[in-house]
Amino acid sequence: MDAKRIKELEIFAARIRLETFREITTLGFGHIGGAMSIADVLAVLYGEKMHIDPSDPKMEDRDYFALSKGHAGPALYATLALKGYFPMEMLKTLNQPGTNLPSHCSRVHTPGVDLTTGSLGQGISTAIGAALASRILGGDNYSYCIVGDGECNEGQIWEGALLAAHQKLDHFILFVDANKKQLDGTTDQICSMGDIAGKFAAFGWDAQSIDGHSISEISEAIDHAKEAAGKPSCIVLNTVKGKGCRPAEETAANHHLMFPDAEANRQEEERMNSLVKELTEEWRNM
């Protein structure tokens, strides 16, 4: 991937963060931390790597994606809207009565959402099921999934890890958003996961640990994962919870935040929008 393409995806990630912030501040509260930390990987997946068609969300040979940490749905919704799965105006309805953008992801309600998620630990199982079903049906498509590092406290994650390795699901790529925090503390305080990549490797996976905010590292890690024949792949994304949103980054307990100050929200939105413009100008001058 050349420098100009990397910059395009950095712009996409910045736009995902901006639209996610707008969603959550329109509502007045939300899971800002874990939504912001996955913007970069979403930009690479939906902007470069996944075989998808927003005009045909149910395309049979599409790649599948499961956001197992479904409370980070606002980031996925922003991504889908920016890709054209549904009108941008719909983002203003996040978690409102009658919305098609519920607080956790639902395949029934939202165009482009393949698998319903949010009960932590379960998304990996449905994503593995999609990968196994695709192989049984003779497909060559990939199944991708994002889990949180706190979510890895769930035993179901490791049951899935065993099954995927046993089935040699080399078209299954899992991302662990290792932002080092969970709902009520740091992951080290609640239940330290230690070397997450090492644990998956011990379960028979190809495993990598990278900078989860580096577009180039994410892209290269996915390319490497696709070369790992005969085994599933885990990519640990070392991230900052709340990345790109100053109020979230500057708050220790940033899993879920209230945004009652309209003027502060306006200033932060303006700052984030300025970043998009700066990145776009850099891209034009390349």
CATH number at residue 52: 3.40.50.970
Range of the domain at 66: 3-284
Could you give the CA distance from residue 20 to residue 22 in angstroms, rounded to a whole number? 5
User: Are 169 and 135 spatial neighbours (Cβ–Cβ below 8 Å)?
Assistant: yes
* pLDDT value of position 93: 97
Domain count, the chain: 1
Could you give the CA distance from residue 262 to residue 275 in angstroms, rounded to a whole number? 20
Q: What is the mean pLDDT of residues 232-245?
A: 98
When pLDDT is cut at 50, 70 and 90, the band that residue 247 belongs to is very high
Specify the pTM: 0.97
User: Are 13 and 21 spatial neighbours (Cβ–Cβ below 8 Å)?
Assistant: no
Q: Quick count: other Cβ atoms within 10 Å of Cβ 159?
A: 14
Say which amino acid occupies 170. D
* pLDDT value of position 242: 97
* 240: pLDDT strictly greater than 90: yes
Q: What is the mean pLDDT of residues 34-52?
A: 98
* pLDDT value of position 133: 97
Report how far Cα 263 is from the mean position of its chain's Cα atoms: 29
Q: Using CA atoms of 191, 75, 22, 3 in order, give the dihedral in degrees to the nearest 10.
A: 110
* pLDDT value of position 1: 87
* 74: pLDDT strictly greater than 90: yes
Could you give the CA distance from residue 44 to residue 228 in angstroms, rounded to a whole number? 19
Could you give the CA distance from residue 10 to residue 13 in angstroms, rounded to a whole number? 5
Could you give the CA distance from residue 285 to residue 9 in angstroms, rounded to a whole number? 16
* pLDDT value of position 16: 98
Which residues are within 8 A (CB) of 158 and not within 5 positions of it... i.e. 6 or more apart?
203
When pLDDT is cut at 50, 70 and 90, the band that residue 14 belongs to is very high
- pLDDT tens digits, 196-238: 999 999 999 999 999 999 999 999 999 999 999 999 999 999 9
Q: What is the mean pLDDT of residues 53-59?
A: 96
- pLDDT tens digits, 110-126: 999 999 998 999 999 99
* pLDDT value of position 97: 94
- pLDDT tens digits, 270-280: 999 999 999 99
Say which amino acid occupies 77. Y
Q: Using CA atoms of 121, 63, 224, 12 in order, give the dihedral in degrees to the nearest 10.
A: -90
User: Are 71 and 42 spatial neighbours (Cβ–Cβ below 8 Å)?
Assistant: no
Phi and psi, residue 277, nearest 5°: -65, -40
Q: What is the mean pLDDT of residues 97-105?
A: 95
* pLDDT value of position 83: 98
User: Are 28 and 260 spatial neighbours (Cβ–Cβ below 8 Å)?
Assistant: yes
**CA separation, residue 173 to residues 36, 51, 92, 130, 234 (Å):** 21, 14, 31, 12, 6
